[in-house]
Amino acid sequence: MEMEKLVSLCKRRGFLFQSSEIYGGLNGFWDYGPLGVELKRNIKDAWWRDMITGHDDLSVLTGAPAKYQMVGLDCTIIMHPQVWKCSGHYDLFHDFMVDCRQSKKRYRHDQVRGRWVEAKGKKIFVSTTAEAAEEEAETERKALKFFKLRSKNADELSWTSDFVSLSAMSDFAEVLGPDANELGTLTPPREFNLMFKTIVGALGSEDDAAFLRPETAQGIFANFKNVVDSSRVKIPFGIGQVGKSFRNEITPRNFTFRSREFEQMEVEFFCRPEESQEWYKYWRDRRYQWYLDLGLADERLQLRDHDSDELSHYSTGTADIEYAFPFLPSGEFGELEGIAHRGNFDLRSHMEGKLNPNTNPLELETNEHGQPKHRGSGKDLSYRDKETNERFIPHVIEPSAGADRAALAFLCEAYCEDEAPDEKGKMQSRTVLKLHPRLAPIKAAIFPLVKKDGLPELAQQIYRELKQDHNVFYDETGAVGRRYRRQDEIGTPFCITVDSQTLQDKTVTIRDRDSLEQSRINMNDCATEVARRIAGKGKVCSENPS
Ligand code: GAP
């Protein structure tokens, strides 16, 4: 599938718009249109229902080591700055960037790649930020231009190594920057914290600095004690949260894949340390299955364990669920969700030490050995098992998903071009989004075949009845074939048509978007039939008592 086609459909049919488009847009920020908001809401609702409210606390589910409970939370985006100090984000959540003095452009250090090339007795490193598929052509074009050679003399270039990353380079003086035409214009890499900073209060100074959360997880850790004390949960249990997170990404790209404002769907699952490996495996498999159940194809999904040098500062083991997004080079996958074993890092960190109310929480205090002093809340965040009276700091397994990346993956997977017969039975090409019915923005469209003979009134009656439980759409304009196509293109799984036979026997046709099968059902059964068809494919995902 060509990504441009999906991007254009998203804009044309109202799934996604560039934020502030009338002012030229703002890089890394996206708005969801009337259909996009429904799709994303359905994803978040499916997640919330499947992970939190629909969870069966009383049964041992397939693959789970034991019964467990699930509850939810909704925390603020701005929290006490000390939260980010203790979580490690203030000191460690950064990327490296390089600037180009000539083009004034900024690049993420790890994303600049290129090749060594020699010509006219000079050896230089030609760098590029192009996608891998275009990289080779791009480096050749730049090398030819730099050495003032014409393309017919391309064999005068000699390539001395395969693609390497800029990170492996020590001498930036020999680098031809991605958008430069002279050597040595790139600065050495500099650290850049990804958190957005703001000031709290009208008279705020640097001492009142605060941050927009870069993950929803910390709100859960900061409320661990509140939840345990107020909701009678017992370990093992999980707390889920869905909400916005913000990261000042250096190079937002690939449509919504890497945005600066995005939504996360996170669970922090608290368990006994000695049982944590089993729970880690359970959540990896459970979350992988969730994407399969909602329609992502097995051959485009993969579970990948992180190498030790990839692990975040808190993690003792992480696996990513990855999807073969069509904008990536063939064979490459992009992260949809991370499942991390966070050990007791966060609770311990928020618990230890004590914050001095007279100091700026973000200033680093050091101990007598010059090492940074740890300053947590000083509150006891350990857990007491009421049956055994044992006290311990729980270990945490964290399945952390992105709602926007999930929406993008479901859209990529759903996009399809095939053929369907028109009213005269002639095959016509169509664009169709084969979205899972649970995720489809509109569940059914209702059409009167013609705008007369009382058909619109009957169709509107069905529309109103269905509207009580589902997002449905009424359309009486244009040939019915065109109306089907308009719905196929936005993923509506069912179309109900009222025709002259309805006047005689009160039956209507219901058409399935994917199989194109049409069957007649009683018009009074439309609501139950639509509900049955959605539920048939979309029961609570992958929760089966064993
Ligand atoms: N609490 C752990 C955590 O935040 P992460 O791997 O940094 O882990 C989790 O983020 C998920 O959030 C990712 O798998 C991805 O789906 C989503 N995500 C992260 N950064 C994103 C960005 N810049 N744009 C869109 N989604 C993002």
Same domain, 118 and 89: no
Domain-ending residue, one of 192, 219, 243: 192
Same domain, 435 and 459: yes
Residue 423 in this model has a pLDDT that exceeds 80: no
Q: Tell me how far the alpha carbon of residue 123 lies from the centroid of ligand 1, in angstroms.
A: 40
In a domain, 397, yes or no: yes
Domain that holds residue 509: 431-536
Residue 353 in this model has a pLDDT that exceeds 80: no
How confident is residue 222, by pLDDT bands cut at 50, 70 and 90? very high
In a domain, 179, yes or no: yes
Atom of ligand 1 nearest to the CA of 321: 14
Atom of ligand 1 nearest to the CA of 215: 4
Domains of the chain: total: 3
Atom of ligand 1 nearest to the CA of 335: 14
In a domain, 426, yes or no: no
User: Rounded distance, CA 273 to CA 394, Å?
Assistant: 6
Span 520-534, mean pLDDT?
96
Residue 538 in this model has a pLDDT that exceeds 50: no
Whose CA is closest to 214, among 248, 188, 163?
248
Give the CATH number, domain containing residue 69. 3.30.930.10
Q: Tell me how far the alpha carbon of residue 402 lies from the centroid of ligand 1, in angstroms.
A: 6
Residues 303/288, Cβ–Cβ less than 8 Å: yes
Span 244-270, mean pLDDT?
95
Same domain, 212 and 160: no
User: Rounded distance, CA 84 to CA 116, Å?
Assistant: 41
Same domain, 106 and 234: no
Span 374-403, mean pLDDT?
92
Give the CATH number, domain containing residue 467. 3.40.50.800
User: Rounded distance, CA 37 to CA 39, Å?
Assistant: 5
**Quick one: which H or E segment has residue 536?**
helix 526-537
Same domain, 101 and 83: no
Predicted local confidence at residue 165, as pLDDT: 82
Atom of ligand 1 nearest to the CA of 340: 2
Beta bridge partners of 498: 448
Q: What percent of the chain has pLDDT over 70?
A: 93
Overall residue count recorded for the chain in this entry? 546
Domain-ending residue, one of 192, 227, 254: 192
How confident is residue 135, by pLDDT bands cut at 50, 70 and 90? confident
Q: How far is CA 516 from CA 116, 389, 490, 530, in A?
A: 55, 61, 15, 15
Domain-ending residue, one of 192, 218, 247: 192
Q: Tell me how far the alpha carbon of residue 341 lies from the centroid of ligand 1, in angstroms.
A: 16
Residues 494/470, Cβ–Cβ less than 8 Å: no
Same domain, 272 and 182: no
- Best residue among 95, 335, 398 to mutate for probing ligand 1's pocket (most ligand atoms within 8 Å of CB) is 335
In a domain, 423, yes or no: no
User: Rounded distance, CA 440 to CA 425, Å?
Assistant: 27
Residue 357 in this model has a pLDDT that exceeds 70: no
| Top-confidence range, 152-166, 194-208, 396-410 | 396-410
In a domain, 466, yes or no: yes
Rounded to the nearest integer, the mean pLDDT of the chain is 91
How confident is residue 374, by pLDDT bands cut at 50, 70 and 90? low
Beta bridge partners of 408: none
Same domain, 86 and 110: no
Q: What does residue 120 show for φ and ψ, rounded to 5 degrees?
A: 50, 40
How confident is residue 91, by pLDDT bands cut at 50, 70 and 90? confident
Predicted local confidence at residue 235, as pLDDT: 97
Q: Tell me how far the alpha carbon of residue 36 lies from the centroid of ligand 1, in angstroms.
A: 20
Query: How confident is the model over 456-481, as pLDDT tens digits?
Result: 999 999 999 999 999 999 999 999 99
Same domain, 402 and 447: no
Same domain, 263 and 178: no
Same domain, 390 and 275: yes
- In a 13 Å sphere around the CA of 164, the CA atoms on its Cβ side amount to 16
Chain-centroid distance, C-alpha 479: 38
- Using the 8-state DSSP alphabet, how is residue 461 labeled? H
Same domain, 398 and 321: yes
What tokens does 118 get?
């020699």
User: Rounded distance, CA 233 to CA 28, Å?
Assistant: 39
In a domain, 299, yes or no: yes
In a domain, 415, yes or no: no
Atom of ligand 1 nearest to the CA of 263: 26
- Using the 8-state DSSP alphabet, how is residue 162 labeled? S
- This prediction's pTM: 0.88
User: Rounded distance, CA 141 to CA 90, Å?
Assistant: 41
In a domain, 254, yes or no: yes
Residues 395/271, Cβ–Cβ less than 8 Å: yes
| Top-confidence range, 250-259, 358-367, 495-504 | 495-504
- Best residue among 89, 254, 262, 263 to mutate for probing ligand 1's pocket (most ligand atoms within 8 Å of CB) is 262
Same domain, 65 and 132: no
